[in-house]
Amino acid sequence: MLNNKKVNIFLLIIAVVLFVFLPRFLSGYWVRVITAIFMYA
């Protein structure tokens, strides 16, 4: 993946948007997916 700070900021914004749009709908699954993305990033 690219080593740009803008990319990391964009991924963080996407994660926040997902958390806002998915309050309780598949919350556990998305939390695991986002956690995996953060660990890979």
Q: Rounded distance, CA 41 to CA 29, Å? A: 18
Spatial neighbors of 7 by CB under 8 A, at least 6 apart, are: 1
Domain span holding position 29: 5-40
pLDDT tens-digit series, residues 7-30: 889 999 988 887 777 666 666 777
Q: How many residues does the chain have?
A: 41
- Give how many domains the chain has, as a whole number: 1
Position 12 scores a pLDDT of: 92
Spatial neighbors of 22 by CB under 8 A, at least 6 apart, are: 30
The DSSP secondary-structure symbol of 24 reads S
Does the reported pTM lie above 0.75?
Answer: no
Q: Rounded distance, CA 2 to CA 30, Å? A: 24
CB 34, CB 15: distance < 8 Å: yes
